[in-house]
Amino acid sequence: MTARPVRRYLDHEETDMQRRELLMGMAGLGLSTLPGAGHAAEDAAIPTIPGPDPHTRTPTFKPPAGSVDTHTHIFGPAATYPFSPKRPYSPPDAPLELFRKVHDAIGVDRAVIVNATVHGFDNRVVTDAISQSGGRYKGVANINNAMSDDELAALGKAGIRACRFAFLKRLGGVGDMKVFRTLVDRVATIGWHVDIYLEAGTIQEFVPILKALPVTYVIDHMGTISAAKGLDDPDFKALLELQASDEKCWVKITGLERASASGPPFHDAVPFAQRLIDNAADRVIWGTDWPHPNVKFMPNDGDLVDLIPLYAPDTAIQRKLLVTNPERLFKFEARS
């Protein structure tokens, strides 16, 4: 995307954000170790989380050729890619070999690897996987303001197409909105977009901030909505209005297991995914979120794939969601 002229897009919102302590923690992915950030992850015991379901089921639904899993992670191996001492949780290793096996099982051959908080600002676990993929992988990095322009440019050459900011209390301390503004302005000049992971229940407060961003932004996990609140939830309505009114806004159709109140097979979250896809079919992308850190219900990735035809029954829409939209956003080579 061509960046529009940078302006001070957060000034008038900062007072409200500060009153809420930057929405209870502008966090870990990109900001938790920057000036003004807290050190809660250093001071508290680091919890251990479970790994993914090791028995990936072959789904009934066959994704179209060229499908892209646009939200997935690789953890370690920690002996090669050490975890950050400031990480908010400790996962078991989920290395590239397992990553590949999962995608082989579900019939997806391209992916976007999102660097998780556990690796801090060391993006090698992502860039090394990209370098071995023959063009099948792209990445989303964690960055900070200490990185030089040359370092950011090198990440871009290595296949990074975006950086991520998480506004979640559980992922770190309180960050500095001025640093956020500076980082967004910097990535705007190199053609990246930004990934935004919101605390549940905060989308309405973020709307003016997001609309004013000078870059394309992607809202993770369907805005962390709760299926229990129903389709008339004011936060979900605010997300739909933002998605419809701002062409810079994309939404990831991920995290149905996070949104679900009823648990597997997560059908109570399907209407939310369907509504988001119908609302802006050219600006939605899909992902598994493997290996599913910090989830209430551990999903099987084959089951998640079989949800796709429930919320996107039309084959043309499936192709947009899975193939052509991610090709456009992440600059993959197009497959006809």
Mean model confidence pLDDT for the chain: 88
Hey, where are the domains in the chain? Answer: 11-45+55-330
Whole-number pLDDT of residue 12: 39
**Fold topology of 11-45+55-330:** TIM Barrel (3.20.20)
Q: What is the mean pLDDT of residues 11-29?
A: 39
User: Which region among 102-106, 161-165, 170-174, 218-222 has the lowest average model confidence (pLDDT)?
Assistant: 170-174
Q: What is the mean pLDDT of residues 90-111?
A: 98
Q: Is the pLDDT of residue 44 over 90?
A: no
Q: Write the pLDDT tens digit of every residue in 64-84.
A: 999 999 999 999 999 999 999
Whole-number pLDDT of residue 170: 63
Reported as a pLDDT band with limits 50, 70 and 90, residue 171 is: low
Q: Is the pLDDT of residue 95 over 80?
A: yes
CB 30 within 8 A of CB 273: no
Q: Which residues contact 150 (CB under 8 A, 6 or more apart)?
A: none
Whole-number pLDDT of residue 6: 38
Q: Is the pLDDT of residue 174 over 50?
A: no
Ramachandran angles phi, psi of 150, nearest 5°: -65, -35
Q: Is the pLDDT of residue 17 over 70?
A: no
Q: Regarding beta strands 284-286 and 137-141, do their DSSP bridges make them parallel or antiparallel, or are they unpaired?
A: unpaired
- For residue 44, how far is the Cα from the chain centroid? 25
Residue type, 4: R
Q: What is the mean pLDDT of residues 32-44?
A: 40
Q: Regarding beta strands 217-219 and 110-114, do their DSSP bridges make them parallel or antiparallel, or are they unpaired?
A: unpaired
Whole-number pLDDT of residue 167: 87
Query: 130 to each of 79, 135, 151, 224, how far by Cα in Å?
Result: 19, 7, 17, 28
- For residue 108, how far is the Cα from the chain centroid? 18
- For residue 50, how far is the Cα from the chain centroid? 20
Q: Is the pLDDT of residue 8 over 90?
A: no
Range with the largest mean pLDDT of 15-29, 165-179, 275-289? 275-289
Whole-number pLDDT of residue 16: 43
Q: What is the mean pLDDT of residues 10-32?
A: 40
Q: Write the pLDDT tens digit of every residue in 227-246.
A: 999 999 999 999 999 999 99
Q: Is the pLDDT of residue 27 over 80?
A: no
The set of catalytic residues is 289
Residue whose C-alpha is closest to residue 205's, from 11, 2, 23, 49: 23
Residue whose C-alpha is closest to residue 212's, from 176, 237, 191, 185: 185
Q: Is the pLDDT of residue 26 over 70?
A: no
Q: Which residues contact 325 (CB under 8 A, 6 or more apart)?
A: 250, 282, 283, 284, 285
CA angle 286, 115, 56 (to 5 degrees): 55
Q: Write the pLDDT tens digit of every residue in 125-167.
A: 999 999 999 999 999 999 999 999 999 999 999 999 999 998 8
CB 99 within 8 A of CB 56: no
Whole-number pLDDT of residue 172: 53
- Please list the helix, strand and coil fractions of the chain in percent, rounded to the nearest 5, in that order: 40, 15, 45
Whole-number pLDDT of residue 209: 92
User: Which region among 48-57, 86-95, 167-176, 199-208 has the lowest average model confidence (pLDDT)?
Assistant: 167-176
Q: Regarding beta strands 249-253 and 68-72, do their DSSP bridges make them parallel or antiparallel, or are they unpaired?
A: unpaired
pTM over 0.85: yes
Retrieve residue 225's tokens: 């909505």
In the block, tokens 């229940």 appear at: 201
